[in-house]
């Protein structure tokens, strides 16, 4: 199948060929035709599948085929969960609309509002936005969503993870009822289905390749290691392997900072990217990583979500995620576009449950090894860390009243999995 056969305009085909794309990706082949027909679409696709062009190209086609009066109301809204994703989607919109008479803008928090307001006042057709800044500027009367014709909700699952449900609901109330809706999500939980039901009208459902096929193309390995030796091990792997582009995942923002500092002290050029970093620092870290001046990017799941870093040779899980699906997203960043990639996980005893859940999800036992000098601690508890902390607190309280250590008895109980929503507060 070619882009021509999808029925896209000459101006868009010119922009596509300038980008160097020859064939539409599977998600583009499936999503573009129904969007062009004006239908609502529910798409299952994650970053790396070409999903952005999957909604941007037909959206631009529709808007440019029906030009509006000189006064430019915002006609299309693309909502994304993170600033980085907003910036990336906007960059795509700009490139694909190079030969069209459409204007676009991006707004997100963490940066000065004034230039964004000035751009909006000039009149734009397509707005890419994160929820907070969008509602903020709408409240100030700087923008109106009353003339929206097409609404795109990108990475809907992350939106919910990040607690944007209320903002999405508020945004929807600001738009006209009659509009076309496109929703993209990597995963389909009950909450996502409920959200889709509330937003979409008889949607056409499309799907990129199942995630499993991505996983199979990636070499996965587990290093069993004592918790306290992880930093030493990762520094050894990166230094001795002379790895040039490594994406490292930690569970918390604090953990990302700490690890990054230790790497820098060991002579590795590293940068951390997470929700507490200023927009400038995040952009700088990402561009350094892309141009090769930064070898290691230490990121939390939410910060890394949606980053377009093609052909990544190494992904390391410094800590396993407590949500198995996040593991699949993380390692999906290596071996993209047919290139080979390696995904390593440093696993300490307290992560045993997470590893078991991940292996169940990916449907395979991940080969594991131990490196001499970095052996796991044979006496460490296999309970997840939070559970251990809770138990030791409980034990202390009860000891005070009963003089008996109940926590040690509880050690044999099966650990409960952490709740997705409640564990997110420190993950951005």
Q: How many residues bind ligand AMP (CB under 6 A)?
A: 14
Nearer to ligand AMP, 23 or 239 (CB): 23
How far does Cα 418 stand from its chain's mean position?
A: 20
Cβ-based nearer residue to ligand AMP, 198 or 310: 310
Q: 50 or 321: whose CB is closer to ligand AMP?
A: 50
Torsion of CA 322, 289, 281, 108, to 10 degrees: -70
Residues in Cβ contact with 253 at an 8 Å cutoff, skipping those fewer than 6 apart: 274, 275, 276, 300, 426, 427, 428
Q: How far is the CB of 308 from ligand AMP (least distance, A)?
A: 5
Of 47, 187, 317, 348, the residue at the interface with ligand AMP (CB under 6 A) is 47
Q: How far apart are alpha carbons 351 and 380 in whole angstroms?
A: 11
CA–CA separation, 392 vs 31, rounded Å? 52
**Taking a C-beta distance cutoff of 8 angstroms, is the pair 337, 220 a contact?**
no
CB of 240 to ligand AMP, least distance (A): 31
Q: What angle do CA 312, 330, 386 make, to 5 degrees?
A: 140
Q: Determine the interface stretch with ligand AMP among 22-30, 119-127, 230-238, 412-420 (rule: CB under 6 A).
A: 22-30
Minimum gap (Å) between residue 216 Cβ and ligand AMP = 19
Residue 48 binds to ligand AMP (criterion: CB under 6 A): yes
Residue 308 interacts with ligand AMP (CB under 6 A): yes or no: yes
Q: Going along 191-265, which residue ranges are E strands?
A: 204-207, 219-224, 246-249
Nearer to ligand AMP, 129 or 346 (CB): 129
Q: Does 52 bind ligand AMP (CB under 6 A)?
A: yes
Indicate whether 104 belongs to the interface with ligand AMP (CB under 6 A).
no
Does 80 bind ligand AMP (CB under 6 A)? Our answer is no
Is residue 128 within 8 Å of residue 80, measured between CB atoms?
yes
Joined tokens for residue 56? 């941007």
**Selected range binding ligand AMP among 48-56, 264-272, 392-400, 418-426, rule: CB under 6 A:** 48-56
Is 83 a binding residue for ligand AMP by CB under 6 A? The answer is no
Q: How many C-beta atoms surround the C-beta of residue 139 within 10 A?
A: 10
- Round to the nearest angstrom and report the end-to-end CA distance of the chain: 39
Quote the tokens at residue 3.
């882009």
Minimum separation from the CB atom of position 227 to ligand AMP (A): 34
**24 part of the interface to ligand AMP, by CB under 6 A:** yes
CA distance 283 to 286: 5
Q: Which of residues 26-45 bind ligand AMP (CB under 6 A)?
A: 28
Residues of this chain, 175-194, that bind ligand AMP according to CB under 6 A: none
84: which 2 tokens? 């980085």
Residue 58 binding ligand AMP, by CB under 6 A: no
Determine if residue 267 is left, alpha or beta; phi over 0 gives left, psi from -120 to 50 gives alpha, anything else beta: left
Least Å from the CB of residue 23 to ligand AMP: 6
Q: Is 82 in the site for ligand AMP (CB under 6 A)?
A: no
Minimum CB distance to ligand AMP smaller for 6 or for 107: 6
Q: Strand 41-44: give its sheet, edge to edge.
A: 104-107, 126-129, 76-79, 150-153, 180-185, 41-44, 204-207
Out of 8, 11, 25, 58, the residue judged to bind ligand AMP by CB under 6 A: 25
State which residue, 6 or 270, has the beta carbon closest to ligand AMP: 6
Binding residues for ligand AMP, rule: CB under 6 A, are: 21, 23-25, 28, 47-53, 308, 310
């Amino acid at each position: 199948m070619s882009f021509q056969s999808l029925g896209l305009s000459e101006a868009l085909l010119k922009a596509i060929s300038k980008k160097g794309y020859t064939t539409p990706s599977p998600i583009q082949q499936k999503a573009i035709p129904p969007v062009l027909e004006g239908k609502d679409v529910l798409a299952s696709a994650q970053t790396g599948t070409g999903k952005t062009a999957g909604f941007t190209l037909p959206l631009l086609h529709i808007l440019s085929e029906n030009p509006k009066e000189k006064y430019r109301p915002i006609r299309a809204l693309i909502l994304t969960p993170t600033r980085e994703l907003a910036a990336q989607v906007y960059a795509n919109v700009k490139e694909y609309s190079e030969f069209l008479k459409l204007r676009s803008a991006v707004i997100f928090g963490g940066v000065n509002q004034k230039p964004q307001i000035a751009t909006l006042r000039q009149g734009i057709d397509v707005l890419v936005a994160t929820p907070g800044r969008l509602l903020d500027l709408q409240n100030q009367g700087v923008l109106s969503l009353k003339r929206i014709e097409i609404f795109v909700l990108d990475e809907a699952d992350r939106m919910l993870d990040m607690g944007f449900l209320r903002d999405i609901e508020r945004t929807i109330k600001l738009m006209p009822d009659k509009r076309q809706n496109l929703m993209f999500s990597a995963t389909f939980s009950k909450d996502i289905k409920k959200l889709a039901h509330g937003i979409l009208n008889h949607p056409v459902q499309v799907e990129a390749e199942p995630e499993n096929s991505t996983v199979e193309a990636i070499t996965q390995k587990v290093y069993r290691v004592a918790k306290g030796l992880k930093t030493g091990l990762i520094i050894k792997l990166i230094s001795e392997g002379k790895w040039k582009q490594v994406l490292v995942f930690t569970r918390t923002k604090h953990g990302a900072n700490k690890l990054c500092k230790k790497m820098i002290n060991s002579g590795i050029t590293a940068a951390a990217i997470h929700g507490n970093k200023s927009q400038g620092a995040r952009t700088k870290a990402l561009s350094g990583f892309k141009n090769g001046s930064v070898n290691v990017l230490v990121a939390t799941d939410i910060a890394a979500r949606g980053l377009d870093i093609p052909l990544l040779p190494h992904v390391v899980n410094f800590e396993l995620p407590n949500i198995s699906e996040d593991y699949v997203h993380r390692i999906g960043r290596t071996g993209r576009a047919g290139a080979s990639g390696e995904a390593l996980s440093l696993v300490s005893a307290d992560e045993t449950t997470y590893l078991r859940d991940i292996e169940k999800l990916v449907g395979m036992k991940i080969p594991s090894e131990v490196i001499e000098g970095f052996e796991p601690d044979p006496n460490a508890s296999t309970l997840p860390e939070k559970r251990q902390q809770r138990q030791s607190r409980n034990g202390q309280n009860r000891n005070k009243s009963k003089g008996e250590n109940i926590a040690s008895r509880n050690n044999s109980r099966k650990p409960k999995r952490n709740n997705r929503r409640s564990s997110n507060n420190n993950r951005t």
